[in-house]
Amino acid sequence: MSAPHVIVIGAGSTGAATAHDLALRGFRVTVLERGEIANQTTGRNHCLLHSGGRYCVKDQESAIECIDENLILRRIMPEALELNDGLFVAITEEDLAFKQLFVAGCVACHIPYREISPQRALALEPFLNPKLLAAVQVPDGVFEPWRFCLAFLATAKHNGASVRAFAEVTDLLRSGSAVTGVKVRDLRTGQTETLGADLVVNATGPWAGEIAHLGGVDVPVQPTAGVMVTVDRRLNNMVVNRLDKPSDGDIVVPQRQTSIIGTTSWTILDPDQIDIPKDHIDKMIHKGQELIPAIAQRVVRGVGAAARPLIRKANTDEREVSRTFECFDHKYDGVEGFVTISGGKTTTARGMAEKVTDLVAGKLGVSAECRTRTTPLLSYRLFYN
Amino acid sequence: MATRTEPTPRPRRIWQWGDIRHRNLGMIAFILNRLSGLGLTLYLFLHMLVLSTLAQGPAGWDPFIEIVKAPWFLLLDVVLLFGLLIHGLNGLRVTLNGFGLGVRAQKPLFVGLMVIAVVTGAIGTWLIFTK
Amino acid sequence: MAIEVPVKMFRCKAGEAPRFEAHRVSVPDDANVIDVIDAVWRQDNTLMFRHACHHASCGTCAVRVNGYEKLPCIVPVREAMAGQTEMVIEPLRNFPLVGDLVVDVTSFFQKQAASGMVITRAAEPSLDGRAYERAEVFDDAGRLDTRPYNRFENCIECGICLSACPTLSATDRFFGPAGLAAVRRAVQTTPDPRRKSLLLALADSDHGVWQCHSAFECTEACPQDVDPAGAIMALRRELAVRKLKAVFGLGGH
């Protein structure tokens, strides 16, 4: 008897990590992505490998997920990360008052940290705002989102998975109350075909609601856009965060020879139609200067926006929505053979994959244990083998 | 099962390496070097062919010398001279660059060498037609 | 402020003849060319194009804009339209075509893999001209470690240098500018002399550095200041010096 066939819709970080976990546990896996790998939410994120520091005060569940996954990713993809830590810096007296909460949060979430003096912080990061009042160092890092996904997919392919880019799922096949496969349009040829599956995983991030609708179910995903502004020089080695609860323009992530300022947050209806408001770009540059004044003299190199898939809960504004993830088994909505994994962040993609693959394995009666915590990933370049 | 679509190989056309649109000085250097290289190779064969007539003694050689003295043939000598200068001096640039010399200055190096080629070629032309 | 951009978009589906499709899109005046491509996609989402980061880090979006190889994510529309009446967008040259703006990068990445370049390296000793003190970073166990900061390499493997290379327009077998630049990087960074010899042998092979015609088009086109031609010349120099030493018996091996 051959292994069960699982279709994963979406090749962002969640889909890529899920394909890897499924393939490692012996499933036959097909990944379908309507565009390039990581062409939306994952591709245009901060590139921040979270230490959990950003969430350790208001959202400790997310913070703990982050630090756990951070340490795992350092082991399984060491060469694909810039590992230079992060600084949370206090600029105002208000920020300084937040420090105690922050440090307590680090302790509660077992995030390694150390306080360093403003003089020492400036010696390490000479472009920091010289008016800083305090700095706390945590193990943040930087990844490159496209290659991050490719590393997971390269390993999945090595373990037998099939990955098809430019293959758009246009409908779900139904048999009675169960999803039994997908209808897929190959954009290279314009041809539509059907693919049968024992189970379909919806890993389409902010599009999860649209795909779920094809299966006749609802998923409370709130697409929330965020803008990133990249300047033409690398102005920091450590990730520089504002020592405060998350807000607009409170982080500058170094990457390659540039620095990326993030981010804003606004609710959108259609994740395919994001028009970047000009004032958001100006705000990034303005707020970024509070952390690194030299941003004022730099030229903007790139501006990007994509929708995050935040899990909607009643009566919360978009900044307050938890950044943790949810895994939905649609059997509770009366549909078998269909699960959705959404929310979360790229840093926690492996953990999300573990949770959804546990669910899939349980549903399909496969007893293999998750091994992704310790399995080193192949080079992203081997995706093209 | 999934059908696979093989990528279409892009047709290569001979003019593509002669297409200088949207390209820079280095492309012109490359094309000049290729054209002069092909010309010199052709010349080498012709030269061998001509030399082989020497073996037939004065009967074969003297009519050839008459042709060579014609003004239109001297024009071909000028083409040969420019070909040699351009190929040789451009080759000098490639060699110097290959030893890590003047890599940053490859453009001025090319322009400078080509100025030398033109000046030397002009003097040579003058000598060919006046001596 | 929005600007209207007349676009001529290269379209080609498998088995069909390529054609140019006319579009008119409206984008903010400070938009980049990637936003124009995205706007065309919003009109017709069967358009295939590659993109991810929109800040010149992933290297997926490279295309030709009015004939020139560009990363559309960092080229302002205003700059691309200067002196132009329309924007012609085509896929890269010297790659097999998958369809529309998408080219097949498989053999390119296989060569990149063969080069063995690690994508992270030690960061520069100063930040945009300002010196900084030696790093102290947390290791996996949460202890402080004094090692240099690291960062991703400049090369984003976008394929622009391959599209600009005149040698590659005549043959697929040339190892290519990005591949040879990666070999050069690996030669510089590997501590293993045996590995270094293997890498130099790769550079010295029939389709290595000697197949380059010194047109320097790769370096002209590179959006990331990688200077592949400079890397090829440096490899040539290293190989020439080795050969000369071998001829005169100075090699020491």
The helix or strand, by DSSP H or E, that contains position A329, with its residue range, turns out to be strand A325-329
CA distance A62 to A55: 6
Q: Is A216 exposed, middle or buried (0-12, 13-18, 19+ CB in 10 A)?
A: middle
Mutate to test the interface with C, among A37, A51, A144 (most CBs of C within 10 A): A144
Q: How many CA atoms lie within 13 A of C117 on its CB side?
A: 23
**Nearest by Cα to A380 from A194, A90, A212, A163:** A163
**pLDDT for the residue B10:** 60
**What pLDDT is recorded for position B72?**
85
Supply the pLDDT for residue A19.
98
Please indicate if any CB of chain C lies within 8 Å of the CB of A262. Answer: no
What does the pLDDT read at residue C206? Answer: 94
Give pLDDT tens digits for A110-130: 999 999 999 999 999 999 999
Residues 6+ apart with CB under 8 A from C29: C1, C2, C3, C77, C78
* A246: confidence class by pLDDT, cuts 50, 70, 90: confident
Average pLDDT value for residue range A66-84: 94
Query: What pLDDT shows up at residue B71?
Result: 83
CA distance B117 to B90: 9
Nearest partner of A134 among A108, A100, A106, A104, judged by Cα? A100
Residue A273 pLDDT exceeds 80: yes
Q: Report which residue type is found at C19.
A: R
Q: For A337-366, what is the mean pLDDT?
A: 95
List chain B domain ranges: 24-130
| Residue-level pLDDT at A323 | 59
Q: Burial, B21: exposed, middle or buried (Cβ in 10 Å; 0-12, 13-18, 19+)?
A: exposed
C152 vs A82, A187, A188: nearest CB:
A82
Contact between chains at A35 and C48 (C-beta distance less than 8 A): yes
Intervals of chain C under pLDDT 70 = 250-253
For every residue of A161-201, which 3-state class applies, written as one string?
Answer: CEEECCEEEEEEEEECCEEEEEEEEECCCCEEEEEECCEEE
Mean pLDDT calculated for residue range B59-68: 80
Fold of B24-130: 3 helical TM bundles of succinate and fumarate reductases (1.20.1300)
Identify the pLDDT of residue A2.
85
**What average pLDDT does range A221-248 have in this prediction?**
95
pLDDT greater than 80 at residue A318: no
CB of A32 within 8 A of CB of A167?
Answer: yes
Instruction: Map residue B22 onto helix, strand or coil.
Output: coil
Model pLDDT, residue A256:
95
The predicted model gives B17-37 an average pLDDT of 88
Evaluated on CA atoms C87, C90, C92, C98, the torsion sign reads: positive
% of chain B surpassing 70 pLDDT? 87
Nearest neighbour of C169 by CB, restricted to B17, B97, B98: B17
Is C133 or B50 the better-scoring residue by pLDDT? C133
At C251 the pLDDT is: 52
Tokens of A103: 């440090």
CATH superfamily assigned to domain A48-143+222-311: D-Amino Acid Oxidase, subunit A, domain 2 (3.30.9.10)
The answer to whether residue C16 neighbours chain A at the CB level (below 8 Å) is: no
- Residue B2 in this model has a pLDDT that exceeds 50: no
Among positive and negative, which fits the CA dihedral B33, B36, B41, B44? Answer: negative
Contact C166 B97 (CB under 8 A): no
pLDDT score for C250: 67
**Is the Cβ pair A74, C98 closer than 8 Å?**
no
Measured between CB atoms, which of B21, B23, B30 is closest to C213?
B30
Smallest CA–CA separation between B5 and chain C, in Å?
7
Q: Nearest-CA distance from B11 to chain A in Å?
A: 19
Considering only CB atoms, A112 lies closest to which of C57, C118, C138, namely: C138
Contact A237 C127 (CB under 8 A): yes
**What pLDDT, on the 0 to 100 scale, is given for residue B3?**
39
pLDDT at position A322, please? 56
Apex B104 CA angle, C114 and B108, nearest 5: 135
> Who has greater pLDDT, B14 or B26?
B26
Beta bridge partner(s), residue C144: C138
Cβ contacts below 8 Å, chain B against chain C, sum to: 84
Closest partner residue to C42 (CB to CB) among A166, A273, A276 is A273
- The pLDDT-based confidence of A317 (bands split at 50, 70, 90) is low
In this model, does residue B4 exceed pLDDT 80? no
- Which 214-243 residues of chain A touch chain C by CB within 8 A? 228, 230, 233-238
Q: Stretch A278-295: mean pLDDT, rounded?
A: 96
Q: What is the pLDDT of residue B19?
A: 80
- Identify the CATH class of C2-103: alpha beta
Domain ranges within chain C, ordered by starting residue: 2-103, 106-247
Residue B20: pLDDT band with limits 50, 70, 90: confident
Residue A346 has pLDDT above 80, yes or no: yes
| CATH architecture group of domain C106-247 | Orthogonal Bundle (1.10)
User: CB-based contact (8 Å) between A191 and chain B?
Assistant: yes
The domain made up of A5-41+146-219+323-383 is a member of CATH 1.20.120.530: no
- Residue A26: how many other CB atoms lie within 10 Å: 14
- pLDDT for residue A38 is more than 70: yes
Q: Give the rounded percent of residues in chain B with a pLDDT score beyond 90.
A: 50
**Per-residue pLDDT at A321 exceeds 60:** no
- CB spacing of A30 vs B2 below 8 angstroms: yes
| Amino acid B7: pLDDT | 62
Average pLDDT over residues B100-118: 94
What type of residue is B36?
Answer: S
Residue A128 carries which DSSP code?
A: S
Task: Label residue A78 by pLDDT band (50, 70, 90).
Answer: confident
CA distance B120 to chain C (A): 24
Q: Above 90 in pLDDT, residue A149?
A: yes
Please tell me chain C's helix, strand, coil percentages from 3-state DSSP, rounded to the nearest 5: 35, 20, 45
Provide ipTM, 2 decimals: 0.95
Tell whether B4 is within 8 A of chain A (Cβ): no
Residue A33, CA atoms < 13 Å, CB-side half-sphere: 28
| Calpha distance C43→A90 (Å, rounded) | 46
Contact: B10, C95; criterion CB under 8 Å: yes
pLDDT at residue B1 in the model? 36
Q: What is the mean pLDDT of residues B95-109?
A: 92
Query: How far apart are the CA of C99 and the nearest CA of chain A, in angstroms?
Result: 6
Predicted structure pTM score:
0.94
pLDDT at A245: 86
Q: Is the pLDDT of residue A152 over 60?
A: yes
3-class DSSP state for residue C127? strand
